[in-house]
Amino acid sequence: MLSKRVIPCLDVRDGKLTKGIKFKGNVDIGDPVETARLYYEAGADELVFYDITASSEGRGIMLDVVDKVASQIFIPFSVGGGISTVEDMRAVLLAGAEKISVNSAAVKNPDIISQGAAAFGSQCVVVGMDVKQVPVSEKIPSGYEIVIHGGRKPMGLDAVEWARTVEALGAGEICCNSIDADGAKTGYELTLTRLISETVTIPVIASGGAGNPDHMADAVTVGKASAALIASIVHYGEYSIEDCKNRMAARGVKVRRVW
């Protein structure tokens, strides 16, 4: 069995680490570069950075933050937000990231997935999916709809169908984020996570809702995810990376131990 990954997520707004609930009410809580270094030293397997307002504000990407982070940590990290072209992807990778994450841009222009995979390899291309539960309909048969621009714009696109599409286009990984669960700390949306994990053969990262390490264990067992994304529980010091991994291991989940 491959080890299940623990991945802290750092949302960045105007160069500062920020956190909200269900994509709303964000407050600044620290410095993303310093926090990244602390999580690296604490045993995180990877890190994810999102510039949460870049797409909706039509801004470019935070290359200065990427460059500073790359000088401080020596684990893989991905960057998303404001990436809409292959040139943007190249700039982020050259600044030191191992992966790029596309979300809104991929929905509006799916070719960017295949273009990025062709230029840099599928392993570099993560597709972020922000998903909201809606009534089952002919257009949304799974009952889960893709929403873009930080949860502000529903797209009438079924999440399961979109997952199949992005894998076919060459994505190497999917980060599946439940808007309904985001920041609520009541657990991941396991039905959605399992649905996407069973739909594709590429790794799926569960995102949105972690309130304790047992939720993380549920995400990679019940939800069949390859990794659990966390934010609030580590940002606010409720649990350490080691706490999370120890509890997951006690639940029978294989993890990379903190040295």
The residues annotated as belonging to the active site are 11, 130
- If you search the block for the tokens 């529903």, which residue do you land on? 154
The number of residues in the chain equals 259
Write the secondary structure of 57-108 as one string of H (helix), E (strand) and C (coil): HCCCCCHHHHHHHHCCCCCCEEEECCCCCHHHHHHHHHCCCCEEEECHHHHH
- Coil, helix or strand at residue 155: strand
Under 8 Å between Cβ of 183 and 19: yes
- If you search the block for the tokens 């396991």, which residue do you land on? 190
> What is d(CA 15, CA 61) in angstroms, rounded to the nearest whole number?
11
Name the residue among 12, 169, 161, 30 with its Cα closest to residue 78: 12
29 burial via Cβ count (<10 Å: 0-12, 13-18, 19+): middle
> What is d(CA 193, CA 178) in angstroms, rounded to the nearest whole number?
9
> What is d(CA 168, CA 212) in angstroms, rounded to the nearest whole number?
34
Angle at 32 between CA 82 and CA 113, to 5 degrees: 30
